[in-house]
Amino acid sequence: MSTPDDLPLLQIGGPTGGAPTGGGCGDACGCAGGDDGSYEIDPLTCGLDPDLAALLVNAGLDPVQVEDIAHLAVEEDLDQGVDVTTVATVPEEAVATADFTAREAGTVAGLRIAEAVLSIVCTDEFAVERHVEDGDRVEAGAKLLSVTTRTRDLLTAERSALNILCRLSGIATATRSWADVLEGTKARVRDTRKTTPGLRALEKFAVRCGGGVNHRMSLSDAALIKDNHVVAAGGVAAAFTAVRAEFPGVPIEVEVDRLDQIPPILAEGADLILLDNFTPEQTKEAVDLVAGRAMLESSGRLTLANARAYAETGVDYLAVGALTHSSPILDIGLDLREDENAGEDDGAGEDAAGAGSGADAREGR
């Protein structure tokens, strides 16, 4: 599939209303409006290549949201202008193949999102060769994704794609370290809402790629009664009763910082109890006290060094906000192949994409 050369990028702060301007949509796109000016946007056909959109859906991601994030990342880099260095140094007709390559060992997350960024920038067909999948462990030097398209487009998309790919792979790598430590116990590492504004769905996806599980995606998914709610409501029991009355079908988790707070919470019927800053010894007492009547989550004081000790007490979850707020990136680079001329003939892109270790060749926008 190809994108029109004159397609404008989504303009941040630009005019609202009218036809959608983002998403790489051409005249044949499913979002094309009718005579009455209405637009019915199907997330599986609008903007992104349908196969890529389907892969994102299968990963638990909204392709429209991914496309919006890709637009924002690219527009932030271009600031309604052009890539002046690339335009000045690279011939317009030049075509190349480039490899996204891991500079260090880790767990990969965000490859399909990097493809979405490319689809926003590329003004002609591009072919991809997928060497690994999200969630795979890789060694330094491993090729992750190879792309053949116009050289200008590759270089313009490079930083936006890498910013997201490196960030998400760093989260997945950190999560994998925790998941490995917990292996053999019933405890699972899970995230919090301490995420980058606008990137929560992607960062929580990266946690899943690393072997972790997600807590709530938003404030509306479940109730978590913390100390400030207790103060505002006049007590733990009062807070619990108020939530149950107002939202009877919503799961309720209650934070406690002392063992003596647990029995009344159990009596109220809490679904999950968060043990805040308990020691491993106190956590084991809490597990014995609850005796399976509610799920238990440890939070605070957790490190990779002591995670196993907490897990072996019998808790269900270890809540680690650092997965999304403090994980370092995984170093990944984009390298043009200097020894190949992918633009010798019209079929060069497909030939390059089909070469290599037998990975599937795909085309996208």
Active site residues: 159, 194, 226, 255, 276
CA distance 154 to 139: 24
- Using DSSP's 3-state secondary structure scheme, residue 247 falls into coil
Give the residue among 249, 247, 253, 298 at the shortest CA–CA distance from 272.
Answer: 253
**Contact in structure between 161 and 153 (CB atoms under 8 Å):** no
The CA–CA distances, whole Å, from 111 to 121, 143, 168, 277, 309 equal 16, 12, 9, 36, 34
C-alpha 67/C-alpha 42 separation (Å) is 13
Buried b (16+ CB within 10 A) or exposed e, 40-54: eeebebbbbbbebbe
Cβ neighbour number for residue 59 with a 10 Å cutoff: 18
- Termini Cα distance of the chain: 6
DSSP string, 144-164: EEEEEEEHHHHHHHHHHHHHH
3-state secondary structure of 229: helix
Greatest pairwise CA separation for the chain in angstroms? 75
Task: Tell me, rounded to whole angstroms, the distance of Cα 180 from its chain centroid.
Answer: 20
Q: Answer positive or negative: Cα dihedral of 89, 92, 98, 102.
A: positive
Alpha carbon distance 163, 332 (integer Å): 9
Instruction: Please give the Cα distance from 299 to 135 (Å, whole number).
Output: 25
Q: Three-class SS of residue 130? A: strand
What is the distance between the alpha carbons of residues 222 and 73, in angstroms, rounded to a whole number? Answer: 31
Phi–psi pair at 128, nearest 5 degrees:
-125, 145
